[in-house]
C-alpha cells in the first residue's frame, strides 16, 4: 500500500519524531499551522477514527499517552491546545491514515468548522 504515514511509521520516509513506541509515532507536521503542530499516528493502518475498535484498549491508551506526552513536553498543556482528527475529504482529510493533530502555542480560533 502506498501510504505516506505507513512509510513514516516504518522509517522509510523522514520525519522529525517527537516520541515513538511499538504502537504509535508522533512527529512534527511538515506544514505547521501553529508553533506546536504534532501528528500522533497509530502505526497500524486505519483510515480514520471510525475504524478504531473501542476494544483495542492498548492502541487507544497508546494514542492518549502520546497526546499527553506531546502537550506536556511542548508546554502547551497550560497555555491551551486543540486535538483534531479529520475523517473524509469534506472534513479536510488529505492523508488517509488515522492521525490526530495536536496544535497549540498561539491563540486558536474559537469556532470549529
Ligand atoms: P489531514 O489534512 O489529513 O488532516 O492532515 C494531514 C497532515 O499531514 C497535514 O497537516 C500535512 O501538512 C501533513 N503532511 C503531509 N505530508 C507530510 C509529510 O510528508 N511529512 C509530515 N511530517 N507531514 C505531512
Ligand atoms: Zn497507512
Q: Which residues, including other chains, have CB under 8 Å from residue 27's CB and lie 6 or more apart?
A: 8, 15, 16, 17, 18, 38, 39, 41
pLDDT in tens, 6-61: 999 999 999 999 999 999 999 999 999 999 999 999 999 999 999 999 999 999 99
Cα–Cα distances in Å, from 89 out to 38, 48, 86, 94, 104? 20, 11, 8, 6, 24
pLDDT band at 110 (very low <50, low <70, confident <90, very high): confident
Ligand 1: which atom is nearest the Cα of residue 28? Answer: 22
| Grid cell at residue 102 | 495536536
Question: If you measure from the C-alpha of residue 101 to the centroid of ligand 1, how many angstroms do you get, rounded to a whole number?
Answer: 9
Pocket probe for ligand 1: among 5, 7, 31, the residue whose CB has the most ligand atoms within 8 Å is 31
pLDDT band at 113 (very low <50, low <70, confident <90, very high): low
> How far out from the chain centre does Cα 92 lie?
14
What residues act catalytically? 99
Instruction: Return the closest-CA partner of residue 63 out of 31, 2, 22, 112.
Output: 22
Question: If you measure from the C-alpha of residue 99 to the centroid of ligand 1, how many angstroms do you get, rounded to a whole number?
Answer: 9
CA distance 102 to 80: 11
Report the predicted TM-score, pTM, of the whole model to 2 decimal places. Answer: 0.97
83 lines ligand 1 (CB under 6 A): no
What is the per-residue pLDDT for 109? 82
pLDDT in tens, 60-106: 999 999 999 999 999 999 999 999 999 999 999 999 999 999 999 99
Rounded mean pLDDT of the chain? Answer: 96
Is the pLDDT at 111 greater than 80? The verdict is no
Amino acid at each position: 500500500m502506498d501510504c505516506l504515514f505507513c512509510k513514516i511509521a516504518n522509517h522509510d520516509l523522514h520525519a522529525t519524531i517527537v516520541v515513538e513506541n511499538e504502537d504509535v509515532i508522533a512527529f512534527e507536521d511538515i506544514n505547521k499551522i501553529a508553533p506546536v503542530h504534532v501528528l500522533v499516528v497509530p502505526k497500524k493502518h486505519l483510515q480514520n477514527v471510525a475504524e478504531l475498535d473501542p476494544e483495542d484498549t492498548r492502541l487507544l491508551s497508546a494514542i492518549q499517552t502520546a497526546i499527553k506526552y506531546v502537550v506536556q513536553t511542548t508546554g502547551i498543556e497550560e497555555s491551551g491546545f486543540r486535538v483534531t482528527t479529520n475523517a473524509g475529504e469534506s472534513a479536510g482529510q488529505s492523508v488517509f491514515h488515522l492521525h490526530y493533530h495536536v496544535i497549540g502555542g498561539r491563540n486558536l480560533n474559537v469556532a470549529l468548522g
